[in-house]
Amino acid sequence: MTLRDFIDRIRTSGRLTVIKEKVNAEYEAPMIAKNTSGPVLFENINGHRAIMNVLGSRDELGAMLNVNRKDIIQSLSGIQPDGEVRIVDSSPTQEVYVEEVDLYSLPIMTHFEKDGGPYITAGIVVSEYDGVTNASIHRLMVVGKNKLAARLVPPRHTYLLQKEAENNGDPLPVSIVLGPHPAVAFASTTRVGEGKEFNYAAALMGNPVELFECDNGVKTPHSEIVMEGYIYPEERTDEGPFVDITGTYDLVRQEPVITVTKIWHRKDPIYHGILPAGPEHLLMMGVPYEPRIYGAVGEVTKVKNVILTEGGCCYLHAIVQIEKQTEGDAKNAIMAAFAAHTSLKHVIVVDEDIDIFDSDDIEFAMATRVKADSDVMIIPGVRGSSLDPRGGLDGTTTKMGIDATKVLAEKEKFERATMPKNIN
pLDDT at 259 over 80: yes
Query: Which residue did the predictor score with more confidence, 395 or 201?
Result: 201
From edge to edge, which strands make up the β-sheet containing 219-221? 85-88, 209-213, 219-221
pLDDT at 395 over 90: no
pTM more than 0.95: no
Single-letter amino acid, residue 358: D
DSSP 73-109: HHHHHT--S---EEEES--GGGGEEE-S--GGGS--B
| Angle between the N-to-C axes of helices 329-340 and 290-298, in degrees from 0 to 180, rounded to the nearest 10 | 140
Q: Are 186 and 201 in contact (CB under 8 A)?
A: yes
Q: What pLDDT is recorded for position 322?
A: 98
Cα-Cα-Cα-Cα dihedral sign, residues 358, 363, 367, 373: positive
Residue 306, strand partner residues: 320
- Tens of pLDDT, residues 363-379: 999 999 999 999 999 99
Residue 397, strand partner residues: 382
Q: So which residues are the catalytic ones? A: 244
Distance CA 76, CA 71 (A): 9
Q: Are 273 and 53 in contact (CB under 8 A)?
A: no
Distance CA 197, CA 128 (A): 13
DSSP 237-269: EEE---B-TTSSBPPPEEEEEEEEEEEEE-SS-
- Tens of pLDDT, residues 397-406: 999 999 999 9
Single-letter amino acid, residue 288: P
Q: What pLDDT is recorded for position 386?
A: 84
Most distant CA pair in the chain, distance: 82
- Tens of pLDDT, residues 128-147: 999 999 999 999 999 999 99
DSSP 20-42: -S-B-TBTHHHHHHHTSSS-EEE
Distance CA 283, CA 65 (A): 14
Report the 10 Å Cβ neighbour count for 97: 10
pLDDT band at 423 (very low <50, low <70, confident <90, very high): confident
Distance CA 261, CA 257 (A): 13
Q: Are 400 and 345 in contact (CB under 8 A)?
A: yes
Q: Left if phi > 0, otherwise alpha if psi is -120 to 50, otherwise beta: which for 95?
A: alpha
Mean pLDDT value of segment 149-158: 93
- Tens of pLDDT, residues 97-136: 998 999 999 999 999 999 999 999 999 999 999 999 999 9
Q: What pLDDT is recorded for position 99?
A: 87
pLDDT band at 316 (very low <50, low <70, confident <90, very high): very high
Q: 40-45 and 17-19: which strand pairing? A: parallel
Angle, alpha carbons 388-391-393 (nearest 5°): 120
Q: Are 364 and 416 in contact (CB under 8 A)?
A: no
Q: What pLDDT is recorded for position 422?
A: 81
Report the 10 Å Cβ neighbour count for 422: 4
- Tens of pLDDT, residues 318-366: 999 999 999 999 999 999 999 999 999 999 999 999 999 999 999 999 9
